[in-house]
């Protein structure tokens, strides 16, 4: 004797597909907003560490739960254009003194060993952001709650020498790796 199976309430296939797509988009948006994001590098200010056109993965959780350290590569909101995200290396944190002498960066009186700059000198810039009253003068004490950031390509980077120290609140992620192209993939 054949058993009759009752028909339950089944969602139509097309509706199931739509719900899966919507759920996937929501998960992706939550991840992008709170966990990690992909950034495309538009300029050569971080050469040779990061190449123009590289796709970076920026991790967002640790930025909200711990303080930023010197040497880390971070993304942050451009102080002059809030619609733009920049990527630079943290050189000094709040309370530290930055000085540029004879093409070298000094933090709290000690010259930094910056092999990632490939020997490019670090001089003050001749120009400064329109948002600053006057050009940065050295030695410069980084205010508490701020960081001093610089591009690794020191001769081609508008960084804290141009727009001043960056608020820690404007930091959006800690860059963990280059994800694309395959020739550049690696941890940072």
Residue 118 lies in a domain: yes
Check if the beta carbon of residue 94 is closer than 8 Å to that of residue 143: yes
Residue 65 lies in a domain: yes
Residue 5 lies in a domain: no
Whether the per-residue pLDDT at 134 is higher than 90: the answer is no
Give me the domain span that covers residue 142: 13-187
Most confident of 5-9, 30-34, 62-66, 111-115: 111-115
Q: How many domains does the chain divide into?
A: 1
Residue 8 lies in a domain: no
Residue 6 lies in a domain: no
- Quick one: pLDDT band at residue 80, thresholds 50, 70, 90? very high
CATH of the domain at 55: 2.10.109.10
Residue 7 lies in a domain: no
DSSP assignment string, 28-74: HHHHHHHTEEEEE--SSTTTTTS-TT-EEEEE-HHHHHS---TT-EE
Check if the beta carbon of residue 154 is closer than 8 Å to that of residue 117: yes
* pLDDT tens-place string over residues 178-188: 999 999 999 99
Residue 130 lies in a domain: yes
Whether the per-residue pLDDT at 7 is higher than 70: the answer is no
Catalytic residue numbers, as ranges: 45, 88
Whether the per-residue pLDDT at 132 is higher than 60: the answer is yes
- Quick one: pLDDT band at residue 33, thresholds 50, 70, 90? confident
* Nearest one of 70, 80, 107, 86 to 163, comparing CA atoms: 80
Residue 163 lies in a domain: yes
């Amino acid at each position: 004797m054949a058993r009759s199976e009752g028909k339950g309430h089944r969602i139509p296939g097309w509706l199931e597909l739509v719900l899966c797509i919507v759920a996937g988009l929501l998960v992706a948006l939550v991840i992008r907003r709170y966990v990690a994001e992909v950034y495309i590098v538009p300029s050569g200010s971080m050469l040779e560490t990061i190449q123009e056109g590289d796709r970076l993965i920026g991790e967002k959780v640790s930025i909200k739960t711990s303080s930023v350290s010197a040497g880390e590569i971070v993304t942050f909101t451009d102080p002059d254009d809030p619609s733009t995200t920049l990527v630079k290396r943290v050189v000094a944190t709040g309370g530290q003194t930055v000085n540029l002498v004879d093409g070298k960066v000094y933090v709290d009186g000690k010259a930094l060993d910056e092999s990632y700059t490939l020997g490019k000198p670090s001089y003050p810039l001749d120009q400064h952001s329109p948002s600053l009253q006057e050009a940065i003068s050295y030695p410069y004490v980084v205010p508490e709650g701020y960081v001093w950031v610089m591009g690794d390509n020191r001769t081609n980077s508008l960084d804290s020498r141009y727009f001043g120290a960056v608020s820690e609140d404007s930091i959006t992620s800690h860059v963990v790796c280059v994800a694309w192209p395959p020739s550049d993939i690696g941890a940072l």
